[in-house]
Structure 1
Amino acid sequence: MARLRPFIPDLAASTSAAHATLDPPPRGQVGRGVYETLRTAVLDCTFLPGMALSEQAVSEQLDVSRAPVREAFRQLANEGLLESLPQRGTFVARLNEAKISDAIFVREAIECRAVELAAQASLAQRRTLAQIVKRQASASARADYAAHLAADEEFHHQILVLAGHPHAWAALRLARTGMNRIRHLAIPAVGSNRIAIDHHRLVVDAIIAGDAGAASQRMREHVQSPLAFLQEIRRRHPDYFEDEART
């Protein structure tokens, strides 16, 4: 597969701005920025599954040295978002249905319990979830899918906060990592943005009503919904998936 030169105009611009305002930038800031830039590009499918990446090309595009790019590649490989193949190079990881199923298993265990606990929070705290969903719906209506997915992250994180387990976000965020790509690809395929908002509203209604059982069931339906998207995405883009023989 030929190496492709990545281009991320808005993120590249923000990196250049950092160089203009900080001389030099504080130690660690550039590295974190490169990591977040590349992670976003993978999760929103700017970098598509199977795409070849080059340290040199990325460092030139973002106007940074190769060291923070190499470290970002390492971190993203640990998260399962990149794959380094000896004698071949670094590639955006293809989708793996078994790993997606495992991620859903982890999410169910954490999030179905979290909404049960969130339903016991104060009414004022529970109502904050409705405001997040409102912002998400607004972003979706104007086709700002980056803001839509950011609100999605905020929604699921806030549920953990209301449940009294904010530190569980690290484990949940990792489980959600591969799911973010499915959700993004499913927006044009099946309108997953609208489906997610409808699910969120049902979860919120149950939490605000203090109905822990209903909240858990609604969350389970929501967490499992990407399974229904996979076949349509595979039909449209079979090259985005790992060969079953390799998994």
Structure 2
Amino acid sequence: MAVSPSGAVTAAGAIAAALRDEIAGMVLLPRTPLRDAVLCERFGTSRTPVREALIRLGEEGLVDIVPQSGTFVSRIPVDAIPEAVLVRQALEGVTVEAAARAPSGDLARVDAALDLQRTLAHRRDTRAFHEADEAFHEALALLAGHPNIWRLLRQVKVQLDRARRLTLPALGRMDQVVCEHVAIRDAVAAGDAAAARAAMTLHLSVVLPDVVRLRETHPDYFV
């Protein structure tokens, strides 16, 4: 998020952050128009910070700015998903190995996120489930002593998150995620770094075959 020299969040940064979260969360669907006047009214700002925010999101590949036509939420680039998975597997593989070797071994935060996911899967609350999923992975990074890895990943996995949001409503998918998380958690608790990494790698790869199906069911969402 952009900040001023004094450290305060700029208006453009706040607008970009809000829209980024809504795009990643599929609140704003691909090809949704983003009109300056509507955004100015929503955020209570002039046109300048709105345009700055949209330019920033365009540079991140989240919106398409089409001259003489307008600005639209970008479609999900299929080619970006395998790369994002590889980045996550590499960085989170290292993270869970470190978590398995952590001297404290305090899994309270990990277990709390996992328990919440079980409850939310039962309720079929996909939006809150995804947030609890994020909390689970962040808790592992904190246990490993690598919180900055998770902060970095949040920046590079936005396109992947958009696709993952589409998979959660599928029957049994949230329960499957919980089972995958249990395998990761148990390997970390056992201090088995190799098993923890293998479980994480498998967990993160599951989305890849889903993308093929998603392109068939939501062709307008992908490019």
> The TM-score by the shorter chain falls in which range?
0.7 to 0.9
Distance 1:144 1:63, change over 3 A: farther
- More deviation, 190-199/170-179: 190-199
Q: 1:96 is matched with which residue?
A: 77
Q: How does 1:15-30 map to 2 (within 5 A)?
A: 28=9, 30=11
For 2:195 and 2:162, the matched residues in 1 are separated by 28
Q: 1:135 is matched with which residue?
A: 116
Structure 1 gaps, min length 5: 1-26, 243-247
Contact 1:183–1:192, Cα closer than 8 Å, also in 2: no
Q: 1:65 is matched with which residue?
A: 46
For 2:171 and 2:220, the matched residues in 1 are separated by 19
Q: TM-score, normalised by structure 2?
A: 0.86
1:32 CA displacement? 4.6
2:107 counterpart SS class = helix
Distance 1:191 1:54, change over 3 A: farther
RMSD, aligned α-carbons: 2.2
- AA matched with 2:41: E
The number of aligned residues is 217
Q: How does 1:89-168 map to 2 (within 5 A)?
A: 89-168=70-149
Q: 1:245 is matched with which residue?
A: none
For 1:192 and 1:39, the matched residues in 2 are separated by 25
Aligned counterpart for 2:215 among listed residues 234, 242, 247: 234
- AA matched with 1:229: D
Q: 1:186 is matched with which residue?
A: 167
1:90 counterpart SS class = strand
* Residue identity (%): 35
Q: 2:3 is matched with which residue?
A: none
1:150 CA displacement? 1.5
For 1:207 and 1:192, the matched residues in 2 are separated by 23
Q: 1:12 is matched with which residue?
A: none
Contact 2:99–2:143, Cα closer than 8 Å, also in 1: yes
For 2:52 and 2:174, the matched residues in 1 are separated by 32
Q: 2:5 is matched with which residue?
A: none
Q: 1:213 is matched with which residue?
A: 194
- AA matched with 1:74: I
Q: 1:54 is matched with which residue?
A: 35
Q: TM-score, normalised by structure 1?
A: 0.79
Structure 2 gaps, min length 5: 1-7
1:123 CA displacement? 4.9
For 2:44 and 2:143, the matched residues in 1 are separated by 41
